[in-house]
Chain A
């Protein structure tokens, strides 16, 4: 059947031209109309395709443009601080000494810690919604609630963390015997974890729902338990999708500014442990940009933006590599 269809498609152009020829015999008026129309169609096709290409390419241009702007605007700082900017431990705007190390460390610590905290939750939600309860009011409620988490503005999370989470963390810190500050990397990671759950969870859910039923049924027919099906059929099948969800969460955590800056303690000292206050690149930029009153200072902040941009790009590239490796297995 399919082969026949293919030949049909292949012979179509001839057929069309044949029809054109037959129309030609009927009269010149309808003939030109017909040709006009097919020309118009071809032109519309081309215009549409060109628009698509231009719009798609403009995204590439935009990203390149942003990167070039960041590089250009930070040349002043790159020239004055050199490569030492990346591991310099002092950030002193008064004396024009700029070292981004504490902020790079703070950004990576909060993001990865948040990721570690969020993974069990996002996987659990993904499996529950994708496998156990794909339908029903319970699943709708949970699905909408999780999606709502992504829709709440980050300043609200920051506010809630400051009012509710920080005192709880402070009590916890008193109990385990570290300096009871409350504000710090641990608090920011907790709130970040909450904020990134929906990204991995909803991608995980749709991935798990896409696992072919016959695979699962085959496993069940061989006597596999539900856990075994999840462990040996669903997880291997959805591995790259789950990983992509985690990557999405990480991207979100790296760039989050408002909620983090409200609870991280904003100090340029190097954090001693995960309960110490710290600072992230995004929050330093947000805090200090408005009052950066001399050119080198402003340029150093823009360079911080460039570093954040590059960190995100590198982490994304590593992630892509890992996804393709998982899929190849």
Chain B
């Protein structure tokens, strides 16, 4: 109790130094870019991303390793975005996703809208009974691949592995450890509607499904 006096004085001093806006919104609640549309230049992004791919390409031996590196570049972004996007949610829905479906919806709607200005095109569960841990997020034309043509000898590669890394970061941050990979599914035939169609395959760790089953029972 003896500490009450000085403690109180210190806290009032602190209040004088650190002020919150009266509406409770801090710099984390709004993007730094306050222009009307809050848009960024796609060209600048394309050039930056192109350099990121070139950088990842240095000293790699195969396509798998290159995808792994792009994935690693995206992972920390996903971890941080999960926190940021949840902070920006209204207080009532500010809990982190607790089920696989809630998490995937969060990714499909909130994450995609924040990153690309639109929702992902589709969400699917693997129809294969042997792989109940696999879910798919479909994007018909990923923004990162807008200007990229992959050479024929690297046809396995999809540079959206970077976005897969972001998704993986979100899943890991939400305590749903998973492996996420990007696969091209379009471009097989001429005159196709979506030649750059990409599927993000989300494969959750077994413990996630185990927990999910327990929650279902309870």
**A and B co-occur in one complex:** no
Binding site for B on A (CB under 8 A): none
Binding site for A on B (CB under 8 A): none
